Amino acid sequence: MGDYFGHWVSIGRNAPVPANLPKIYNVNWFRKGPDNKFLWPGYGDNIRVLKWIFETLEGTAEVVETPIGLVPGKNAIDVSGLPDVAAKMDKILEVNPQEWLSECDLIAETPGYFREPAPSRNGE
């Protein structure tokens, strides 16, 4: 697995046109509310988020800059026909710096899950 990731790191480092590289998006479909139920309705509605992703590639999406990158604006994802989802969008799109710092600690442990050789940060 380490060799596989190392391969992709080297592609990024050696790309003749870095702007043409695939974009990376992170979606947490499993965020839960205080009632311990999922905030996002489910897989059948993920196309709504994919539509926003395509709009970002076209430069037409409503985006909000956050410490982790761009996220959809509150009204950027069409939630028409989804009961109660519009009221949950603030929580769905929330970027909590403390939660992300905790996540960074978990991410830092990731190389330990791979057999050697794990790629270094510099891809060497």
Contact 33, 39 (CB under 8 A): yes
More confident residue, 115 or 72: 72
What pLDDT is stored for residue 4 in this prediction? 81
Would you state the pLDDT for residue 60? 95
Neighbours of 77 (CB within 10 A): 22
- Distance of alpha carbon 60 from alpha carbon 97, whole angstroms: 27
Integer Cα distance of 31 and 98 in angstroms:
15
Confidence of residue 5 (pLDDT cuts 50, 70, 90): confident
Do residues 48 and 78 touch, judged by C-beta distance below 8 A?
Answer: yes
pLDDT, position 118: 60
For CA atoms 10, 11, 15, 18, the dihedral sign is negative
Instruction: Identify each DSSP E strand in 1-124 by its residue range.
Output: 63-66, 69-72
Do 79 and 86 touch, CB atoms closer than 8 A?
yes
Asked whether the predicted pLDDT for residue 121 surpasses 70, the reply is no
Q: Tens digit of pLDDT for each residue in 8-36? A: 888 888 999 988 888 888 888 888 999 99
Closest CA to 6 of 106, 113, 111: 111
At 47-92, the pLDDT tens digits run 999 999 999 999 999 999 998 889 999 899 999 999 999 999 999 9
